[in-house]
Amino acid sequence: MNTKRFFLAWILSSLVMFSISYLWHGIFLNDLQRLSYPKGIFLTGCIITYLILGFLVTKIYLMKFPKSIAKKPLVRGLISGAILGICTYIVSLVVGVSFNYSLSMRNIIFDMSWQTIEQTFGGIAVSFIYIWIYDGNPVEVIGRKIIGD
Predicted TM-score (pTM) of this structure: 0.81
Domain span holding position 105: 2-147
pLDDT of 57: 97
pLDDT score of 138 = 65
Compute mean pLDDT per 10 residues along the chain, 149 residues long, and list them. 86 95 81 81 92 96 89 88 93 71 78 91 91 72 60
Cβ atoms of 93 and 108 closer than 8 Å:
yes
Q: Would you say 120 and 82 are in contact if contact means Cβ atoms under 8 Å apart?
A: yes
Total domains, the chain: 1
Per-residue model confidence (pLDDT) at position 147: 58
**DSSP of 51-119, one letter per residue?**
HHHHHHHHHHHTS---HHHHT-HHHHHHHHHHHHHHHHHHHHHHHT--S-SS--HHHHHHHHHHHHHHH
